[in-house]
A and B are shown apart, each in its own frame.
Chain A
Amino acid sequence: MLQKIKSLAKQYAPEFIEVRHHLHAHPELSYQEFETSKFVQGKLKEFGIPFEIKATTGVIGLIEGKNPGKRIIALRADMDALPIKEENDIVYKSKNEGVMHACGHDVHTTCLLGASKILNELKNEWEGTVETDLSAGRRKKSGRCQPADQRRRIGKPRTFFDFWFTCSSRPEHWQNELSSRQSNGQR
């Protein structure tokens, strides 16, 4: 399975680099991710993954493997951009003046779409259900996320994974914040 995923990730990387270029060139601010939302819905349709819309622009995809009730995992990415005027000299520079994917949510969304395609393609080879949560804006106060009410059909995921970007590390690097363990959260 690991080798299959690695090989599909390698095979699909050029396709998803193009996806990222499209998203990067068309950034939208929080809760205004209308075109982005349509774009990711189009991609999920193309991959044959069912989805539902949440908080106007949020898109929740559902990929069922074998024995879908065995366990449910959610993978999350966000889609909104920042009010920053891009200064990069690149062909896929922001076409939306004064708005830029300066927090990497274009990459975040791209990686989750890429993972969705891979998971869907291999769905006869893994067990459980994966929910892909492309969430609506996050920098405003209201309705930032509603993680609980989206799972009528199969129930609530038992866990969530998400990632962010580190500019202190090489692209093959993956960091986890050990000390977050020390944070005395509620569990």
Chain B
Amino acid sequence: MASADELYITIKGKGGHAAAPHFCIDPILIASHLIVALQQIASRNNNPHNPTVLSITSFQGGSTTNVIPNEIKLKGTFRAMDEQWRFKAHGLIRKMATDLVHSMGGEIDLLIDVGYPSVYNNESLNDLARKKAEEFIGPKNVEETEPRMGAEDFGYYSQEIPGCFFRLGVMNEKKGITSGVHTPTFNIDENAIETGMGMMAWLGSSVNFGSVSI
């Protein structure tokens, strides 16, 4: 899972009559340029093999058809799976946002609120835990997944102490248990509890470090 940092950007221009843009500094057009330009960082500066996401998720300002507002507020999220790239990207975001907004006559306040680091599954532990899971529930019930750009505070633990983060299946289509997490109808197939508690006990009692480097 990814690191998650929040972006808060205020672009200050100079409001006025929409029919006279030459007397204004239009923060809406500047913000629009910036939203497009920021994707340059995700698609050109980043190595394509390295998962990263930059999403602007909120664009607020203005209220009517004939007035250019004074300012626009943007919010967004920046996700990464590599801590070095993550902080390099923060610098690129700051530079691009500042230079672009200034070049168009605007002013900018930018806050990158640093959140959870990425969850790093230690490779040796991952292999070992997979083997333990196969012993516990059989190889056909253990699968590897694609990386997901969600975030998880276990990232703090896994950056400090070698860790391994798993997922436990809880869905059952036949019983109609299909709602995702964070929905008002989320529920689980309670057979998962036996698997979850047993697997944690199995890991806790049987994992030895003799054969792994962590």
A pairs with B:
yes
Binding site for B on A (CB under 8 A): 1-2, 5-6, 8-10, 12-13, 16-17, 20, 63, 65, 71, 73-76, 78, 82, 84-88, 90, 100, 102-104, 107-108, 110-115, 118-119, 122, 125-128, 130, 135, 138, 141, 144-145, 147-148, 156-187
Question: Which residues of B have CB within 8 Å of A13?
Answer: 191, 193-194, 197
Binding site for A on B (CB under 8 A): 1, 49-51, 81-85, 113, 115-116, 118-123, 125-126, 129-130, 133, 135-137, 141-148, 152-154, 156-172, 178-209, 214
* Contact status A173-B156, CB under 8 Å: no
* Contact status B163-A163, CB under 8 Å: no
Other than the known A85-B184, A159-B209, what 8 A-B pairs have Cβ atoms closer than 8 Å? A5-B201, A78-B153, A112-B200, A144-B156, A159-B163, A166-B167, A170-B172, A174-B169
* Contact status B156-A145, CB under 8 Å: yes
* Contact A2-B136, Cβ < 8 Å, known A164-B167, A174-B195, A185-B83: yes
* Contact status B126-A180, CB under 8 Å: yes
* Contact status A5-B148, CB under 8 Å: no
* Contact A173-B184, Cβ < 8 Å, known A12-B197, A145-B153, A184-B83: no
Q: How many pairs of A and B residues are in contact by the CB < 8 Å rule?
A: 333
A sample of 10 inter-chain contacts (CB < 8 A) reads: A16-B197, A115-B200, A128-B208, A167-B180, A170-B141, A177-B121, A180-B126, A182-B49, A185-B158, A187-B120
* Contact A177-B193, Cβ < 8 Å, known A130-B205, A166-B169: no
CA–CA, A71 and B179, complex, Å: 39
Question: Which residues of A have CB within 8 Å of B167?
Answer: 163-166, 169, 174-177
CA–CA, A154 and B159, complex, Å: 21
* Contact status B159-A186, CB under 8 Å: yes
A33 to chain B, nearest CB (A): 14
Question: Which residues of B have CB within 8 Å of A20?
Answer: 190, 193
CA–CA, A75 and B208, complex, Å: 14
Interface of B is mostly: mixed
Question: Which residues of A have CB within 8 Å of B200?
Answer: 75, 111-112, 114-115, 161, 163
CA–CA, A160 and B167, complex, Å: 14
CA–CA, A20 and B190, complex, Å: 9
* Contact A169-B188, Cβ < 8 Å, known A5-B202, A160-B157, A162-B163: no
CA–CA, A99 and B136, complex, Å: 35
* Contact status B161-A74, CB under 8 Å: yes
Question: Which residues of B have CB within 8 Å of A158?
Answer: 161-162, 209, 214
* Contact status A186-B161, CB under 8 Å: no
Question: Which residues of B have CB within 8 Å of A108?
Answer: 196
* Contact status B206-A1, CB under 8 Å: yes
A21 to chain B, nearest CB (A): 9
From A110, A148, A162, A186, B165 is in contact (CB under 8 Å) with A162
* Contact A164-B166, Cβ < 8 Å, known A104-B181, A180-B147: yes
* Contact status B186-A102, CB under 8 Å: yes
* Contact A17-B182, Cβ < 8 Å, known A6-B136, A147-B157: no
